[in-house]
Amino acid sequence: MNSKVELIFENNEYRVEVNGSLVNKDKDLEKAFEQFKSVISNNKSAEAKAWDDIVEKFENLNNKELEINNEYRTMSYGNMKYFYNMGKVFYMGNGQMIPLIGGYGLFKFALNVVSNGELDKVNDFVEFCKEVMLCNVNYRVTDSSIIISSASFNYGACEYNFSSNKINKGASISNGSFEEFKTYVLNIIK
């Protein structure tokens, strides 16, 4: 649960707060405690529904390599693992566990890019994200692109668009493959 739910006794009354906002105030402990339990229950069911919605979206992609673990609320695809309860994605190859930037958005992006046929192997993408992270450089994904931000690039960033196969180097835009983009980026930031 991502919300902080508190039952507070102060000035002879009980308050139930969610993330610092007052939800209920009562002088009777039993009523206040029932409200407290109700708020927790509502948050848990909303969280479970969100997980179910995510699972349904990914199952609709019909990707046989996607592993979904409902008990621990995790998803694995190639060398990438998404932990729903933490909201984080990790690189999980070669006995390593390296956190990646992007959480659910990154996991969804990588799966969509592979499912759309714009990238052959998700592991190539995940390895690249790991290498960028290990160089202490930031990246982010949009609908169809990955953008690497560093003062080493012209205008502070470079971008690869998977839909158009274009590399934006800041001062120029050219056609190219993801492999060419990876080589360009890693040669500059390493």
How much is the pLDDT for 1?
47
The answer to pTM > 0.75 is no
How many whole angstroms separate alpha carbon 30 and alpha carbon 104?
Answer: 39
Residues 38-72: pLDDT tens digits?
777 666 655 566 888 889 888 888 888 899 999 99
Amino acid symbol at 92 = M
Percent of the chain beyond pLDDT 70?
Answer: 94
Measured CA distances, 144 to 159, 163, 166, 171 (Å):
10, 6, 11, 20
Among the ranges given (4-13, 45-54, 60-69, 158-167), the one the predictor scored with the smallest mean pLDDT? 45-54
Average predicted confidence (pLDDT) for the chain = 88
Q: How far apart are CA 106 and CA 124, in angstroms?
A: 14
Q: How far apart are CA 74 and CA 66, in angstroms?
A: 11
pLDDT-derived band at 26 (thresholds 50, 70, 90) equals confident
**pLDDT tens for each residue of 123-150:** 999 999 999 999 999 999 998 999 999 9
Tell me what the mean pLDDT of segment 168-186 comes to.
94
Q: How far is CA 59 from the centre of its chain?
A: 17
Is the distance from CB of 168 to CB of 154 less than 8 angstroms? no
Minimum mean pLDDT range among 9-13, 49-53, 128-132, 173-177: 49-53
Q: Answer for the pair 184, 173: CB distance below 8 angstroms, yes or no.
A: no
